[in-house]
């Protein structure tokens, strides 16, 4: 790294041609297409990715899992993807200058190294796409509409039991909080805060969870289309953006912040798995229905299903992998902690509404969930505020 004429640090950016996915779309016997993309790296950290383009993939005379470098004549879109990526540093970082010619054998002519002359104040040389704000804005509007309607219009939950309607309204309150977190994180991420991208993913994970429940376990009402739209948009936002966030060269901490965050996540996963199984296993053995299902008027509680199948294993696996310093664990630790804090906040809101309605005695559970939220927030804050050195989230995964 060396300073430019203005005294700002400059970094060496190289562009590599890589396969974008291990998946092969089969076109016929022994042939198919492989997705490729150009990846721009600064100090060996992937910071820019081009659009993907397809190139023929054939096993004829080529060992399984191997392919050949694509060429423009039989890989349409290759040159455009490269040109767009070469404009990215200029658009995001300021003036850039070619520094070297083709990077190696088999790499098409024009794949160059560039020297960025300016970076963000926090040292981040990359600004995420404007699409982050578009995704977030669309999701936020729809979530706000559904949540305000759920809280204000008695018709929305008019066919639910009192218990389930109160839980849904608590979720509505949590959703409005999630919208604030989503938009704040999106703006900060767009401005160059890479760790804000992790918070943004956590808010999206929460919304995916919440709107699976709305779409599957609330009687059909005029908001059904909104529920499905939010679920789809949040899911696709994660799918399209997780790779750019993961490849942005995030700094992850070592020592106590990492250890505390990982163990908090594992402990929450074990705690809630134990709670759900302590309710479900006796009912399954005796052939009875848990009281919580009867009170909610449900055949099966989708929260049990999502938690036991996906969320709680995700907590435990991410925590253990982070303790082992594996890339995927380090990356998913913060989003899951953000998810935990938001989900706990919605549960607290539901319990407060139950207390106000005189429905049962949720006070003991309220205290427990409040401790979970506080622990999640402290762990997430410590993990996100104490980076010590760059670590590629893709390494070791």
Residue 395 inside a domain? The answer is no
The interaxial angle of helices 224-246 and 131-152, nearest 10 deg, is 150
Out of 89, 116, 143, a domain closes at 116
The residues facing 46 across adjacent strands are: 41
Report strand pairing: 2-3 vs 9-10: antiparallel
Are 7 and 142 members of one domain?
Answer: no
- Could you read off the pLDDT of 321-374 as tens digits, one per residue? 999 988 889 999 999 999 999 999 999 999 999 888 887 777 888 999 999 999
Out of 116, 149, 179, a domain closes at 116
Are 77 and 155 members of one domain?
Answer: no
- Could you read off the pLDDT of 244-274 as tens digits, one per residue? 888 766 778 888 999 999 999 999 999 999 9
**Phi/psi-derived region of residue 250, left when phi > 0, alpha when psi is between -120 and 50, beta in every other case:** beta
Domain of residue 280 covers 131-290+302-390
Residue 269 inside a domain? The answer is yes
The pLDDT, as a whole number, for residue 191 is: 87
Are 88 and 193 members of one domain?
Answer: no
Give the span between the Cα atoms of 283 and 273, in whole angstroms.
Answer: 15
Are 6 and 55 members of one domain?
Answer: yes
The residues facing 41 across adjacent strands are: 14, 46
Give the span between the Cα atoms of 379 and 376, in whole angstroms.
Answer: 5
Helix (H, G, I), strand (E, B) or coil at 271: helix
Are 97 and 199 members of one domain?
Answer: no
| Integer angstrom CA distances of residue 28 from 32, 91, 174 | 7, 41, 49
Residue 27 inside a domain? The answer is yes
Q: Read off the pTM.
A: 0.68
Q: How many residues does the chain have?
A: 397
Residue 295 inside a domain? The answer is no
Residue 397 inside a domain? The answer is no
Query: Is the CB of residue 179 less than 8 Å from the CB of residue 143?
Result: yes
pLDDT tens-place values along the chain, 397 residues long: 444 444 444 455 566 666 554 333 333 333 455 666 777 766 566 666 777 767 665 433 333 344 445 566 556 677 777 777 766 555 444 444 433 333 334 444 433 333 333 334 344 445 677 889 999 999 999 999 999 999 999 999 999 999 999 999 999 999 999 999 999 999 999 888 888 999 999 999 999 999 999 999 999 999 999 999 999 999 999 999 998 888 766 778 888 999 999 999 999 999 999 999 999 999 999 999 888 888 888 888 999 999 999 999 999 999 999 999 888 899 999 999 999 999 999 999 999 998 888 877 778 889 999 999 999 999 999 999 865 444 444 433 3
The interaxial angle of helices 194-217 and 224-246, nearest 10 deg, is 150
Are 84 and 160 members of one domain?
Answer: no
Are 341 and 263 members of one domain?
Answer: yes
Are 140 and 44 members of one domain?
Answer: no
Are 189 and 79 members of one domain?
Answer: no
Residue 245 inside a domain? The answer is yes
Helix runs in 50-104, H state only:
78-93
Out of 116, 142, 160, a domain closes at 116
Residue 38 inside a domain? The answer is yes
């Amino acid at each position: 790294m060396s300073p430019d004429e203005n005294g700002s640090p400059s970094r060496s950016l190289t562009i590599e041609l890589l396969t974008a996915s291990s998946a092969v779309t089969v076109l016929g016997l022994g042939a198919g297409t492989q997705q490729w993309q150009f990846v721009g790296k600064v100090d060996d950290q992937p910071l820019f990715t081009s659009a993907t383009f397809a190139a023929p993939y054939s096993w004829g005379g080529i060992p399984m899992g191997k392919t050949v470098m694509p060429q423009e004549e039989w890989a349409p879109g290759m040159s455009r993807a490269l040109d767009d990526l070469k404009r990215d540093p200029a658009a995001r970082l300021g003036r850039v200058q070619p520094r070297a010619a083709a990077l190696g054998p088999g790499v098409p002519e024009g794949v160059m190294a560039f020297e960025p002359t300016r970076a963000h104040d926090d040292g981040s040389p990359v600004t995420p796409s404007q699409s982050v704000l578009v995704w977030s804005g669309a999701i936020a509007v729809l979530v706000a509409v559904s949540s305000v309607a759920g809280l204000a219009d008695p018709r929305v939950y008019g066919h639910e039991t009192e218990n389930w309607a109160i839980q849904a309204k608590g979720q509505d309150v949590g959703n409005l909080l999630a919208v604030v977190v989503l938009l704040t994180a999106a703006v900060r991420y767009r401005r160059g805060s890479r760790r804000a991208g992790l918070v943004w993913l956590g808010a999206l994970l929460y919304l995916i969870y919440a709107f699976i429940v709305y779409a599957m376990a609330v009687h059909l009402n005029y908001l059904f289309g909104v529920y499905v739209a939010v679920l789809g948009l949040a899911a696709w936002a994660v799918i399209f953006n997780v790779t750019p966030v993961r490849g942005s060269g995030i700094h992850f901490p070592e020592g106590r912040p990492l250890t505390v965050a990982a163990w908090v996540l594992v402990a929450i996963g074990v705690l809630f798995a134990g709670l759900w199984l302590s309710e479900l296993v006796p009912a399954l053995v005796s052939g009875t229905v848990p009281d919580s299902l009867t009170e909610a008027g449900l055949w099966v509680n989708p929260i049990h299903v999502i938690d036991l199948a996906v969320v709680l294993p995700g907590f435990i696996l991410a925590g253990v992998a982070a303790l082992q310093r594996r890339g995927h664990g380090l990356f998913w630790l913060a989003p899951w902690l953000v998810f935990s804090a938001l989900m706990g906040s919605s549960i607290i809101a539901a319990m407060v509404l139950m207390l106000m309605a005189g429905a049962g005695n949720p006070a003991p559970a309220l205290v427990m969930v409040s401790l979970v939220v506080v622990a999640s927030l402290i762990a997430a804050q410590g993990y996100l505020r104490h980076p010590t050195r760059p670590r590629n989230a893709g390494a070791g995964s």
